[in-house]
């Protein structure tokens, strides 16, 4: 089955700097790659996703890139703000009944 590896497990950046979180996946049939943000005491919430037919997607300060050949995808957050501090999860899945498989998460701390 699918295996998703996520790095780093913790990340600290200064406010205004960029943050990058990377994930790799094992199943070449996977075609959907979402990113979730989990704030303290809450459930994860989708912030951006990308499908295998595109290489990059951007939404304001966040962007995701996908390299299908290398089977890795990354989350980029620019101009980080204290409210970006949270745990971020990447995930992968494919068409059909197969549920999402999540990475182990990255705890991002933005230092003011």
> Which residues make up the interface to other proteins (CB under 8 A)?
6, 9, 31-32, 34, 36, 41-46, 49, 51, 89, 93-105
Give the bridge partners for 24, in sequence order. Answer: 5, 72
Least distance from other proteins to the Cβ atom of residue 97, Å: 5
Our CB check for other proteins shows the closer of 31 and 109 to be 31
| 52 contacts: CB under 8 Å, gap ≥ 6 | 30, 31, 32, 33, 66, 68
Our CB check for other proteins shows the closer of 69 and 97 to be 97
Least distance from other proteins to the Cβ atom of residue 77, Å: 19
C-alpha distances in Å from residue 5, one per residue of 21, 81, 105: 11, 26, 9
Least distance from other proteins to the Cβ atom of residue 91, Å: 8
């Amino acid at each position: 089955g699918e295996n998703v590896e996520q790095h780093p497990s913790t990340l600290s950046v200064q406010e205004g700097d960029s943050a990058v979180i990377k994930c790799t996946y094992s199943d070449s049939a996977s075609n959907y790659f979402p990113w979730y943000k989990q704030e303290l005491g809450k459930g994860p919430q989708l912030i951006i996703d990308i499908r295998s037919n595109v290489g990059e997607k951007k939404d304001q300060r966040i962007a995701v890139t996908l390299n299908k050949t290398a089977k890795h995808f990354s989350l980029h957050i620019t101009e980080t703000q204290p409210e970006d501090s949270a745990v971020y999860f990447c995930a992968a899945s494919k068409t059909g009944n197969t549920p999402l498989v999540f990475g182990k998460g990255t705890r991002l701390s933005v230092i003011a």
